[in-house]
Amino acid sequence: MAHAGTLEIKNLNKQYTVKGEPLPVLENISLSIKPGEFVSIVGSSGCGKSTLLRLVIGLEQEYQGEILLDGKRIVGTSLDRGIVFQEHRLFPWLTVEQNVGVGLLNADLSPAQKKKTVDEHIALVGLKGFETAYPYQLSGGMSQRVAIARALVNRPEVLLLDEPFGALDALTRSHLQQELQRIWEAEGITAILVTHDVEEAVYLGDRVVVMQPRPGRIKRIVDVPLPRSRDRGSYAFSQIKDDVLSEFSDTPHSDVKLVTPQESLGANWQFAW
């Protein structure tokens, strides 16, 4: 079902308007991702990583440049592209299995097939036994695992992950990293992972894209020509890791500024009718 897509980003520029002033967020991003490739993106906070994923998933329409999937311009969202947001974004009124089922709401499957797929993915993220729990009964890491299951359940061609393991403990994190690698290999999907964790980026990525802030640009792309599964303790691994880390050393930390909260209450999302 899922076949991998070629993702091409050409001369992408994106700016937000903040208090009437244009705020450039992404500048001249060009990146070509082969079918079935795994690309990691690292960069300091606020350098536009989430914005880049929002553009690829189709939640932002205004930008200059081109984003092409299999040669076709991306317009709006599609079930071919899945995303795990930085926050889990589960619906609190749905149980774990219902939340995962949201991913299949518009899938072309019979109810029995949907149930089976949902169960498989709940087991995959290690939440068997919690099918009927509500989000408030889960820890942050468990919620994030539900969100991962929800994104995977559709078997998307392209899977975008925005710091999906940030909230997890080290053990669960490394377990899920291996699971993600296994799923990616088994399904042959194209994956883009945003992370703060350089080791994670090198462990999972065929390439590591290093971004720099204000405006967000690609600083360097580091190849990771190591066979899988990778040995984090090996010399070659730590050499590549150090190489990526060296790109950060010249970023002054005083530069990091607060990301403005995007979430706001009130009637700020009304439909135009």
Partner 1 sequence: MTTSTISSDASLPQLRRFDWRGLVLPAGFLLVWALVTALGWVNTKLIPPPQAVLSTAVSFIGKAQFFNGLGASLWRDLAGFAIGSLAGVVFGALLGVSRWAGRIVGPTFHTLKHIALFAWLPLISTWLGQGDAAKVLFIGLSAFYPVALGALEGVHGIARSQLEVARVYGFGRVQLLFKLILPGASPQILAGLHLALIYAWLATIGAEYLLAKSGPGIGDAVIQGKAAFDVPLVIFGMLLIGLVGALFNQIANRIEARLLRWRDARH
Ligand X SMILES: Nc1ncnc2c1ncn2[C@@H]1O[C@H](COP(=O)(O)OP(=O)(O)OP(=O)(O)O)[C@@H](O)[C@H]1O
Which parts of this chain interact with Mg ion (CB under 5 A)? Answer: 50, 86
* 48 belongs to the binding site for ligand X (CB under 6 A): yes
120 Cβ contact partners less than 8 Å away, ≥ 6 residues apart? none
**What does 82 bind: partner 1, ligand X, Mg ion, none (CB cut-off 5 to 8 Å by kind)?**
partner 1
Stretch that binds ligand X, among 17-25, 111-119, 198-206, 264-272 (CB under 6 A): 17-25
Stretch that binds ligand X, among 30-38, 178-186, 220-228, 256-264 (CB under 6 A): 256-264
The H or E element that residue 84 is part of is strand 81-84
52 Cβ contact partners less than 8 Å away, ≥ 6 residues apart? 12, 26, 29, 41, 194, 216
Residues 127-186 binding ligand X (CB under 6 A) are none
Q: How far is the CB of 97 from ligand X (least distance, A)?
A: 29
Rounded to whole angstroms, the Cα distance separating 60 from 69 reads 16
**What does 165 bind: partner 1, Mg ion, ligand X, none (CB cut-off 5 to 8 Å by kind)?**
none
Q: How far is the CB of 259 from ligand X (least distance, A)?
A: 5
* Binding region for partner 1 (CB under 8 A): 57-59, 76-79, 82-83, 85, 87, 89, 91-95, 102-103, 105-106, 129-137, 262-273
Rounded to whole angstroms, the Cα distance separating 236 from 230 reads 10
How deeply is 144 buried, as exposed, middle or buried, from its count of CB atoms within 10 A (0-12, 13-18, 19+)?
A: buried
Q: How far is the CB of 246 from partner 1 (least distance, A)?
A: 35
Q: Which two tokens stand for residue 242?
A: 């150090």
Residues 57-86 binding ligand X (CB under 6 A) are 86
Stretch that binds ligand X, among 32-40, 41-49, 93-101, 263-271 (CB under 6 A): 41-49
Q: Which is nearer to partner 1, 96 or 222 (CB)?
A: 96
Looking from the CA of 212 toward its CB, the CA atoms found within 13 Å total 15
Supply the DSSP symbol for 135: G
Strands 190-194 and 38-43 turn out to be parallel
Rounded alpha-carbon distances, angstroms, from residue 148 to 93, 145, 156, 241, 258: 18, 5, 12, 26, 27
Q: Which of 2, 7, 9, 25 binds ligand X (CB under 6 A)?
A: 25
- Which parts of this chain interact with ligand X (CB under 6 A)? 16, 18, 23, 25, 43, 45-51, 86, 259-260, 262
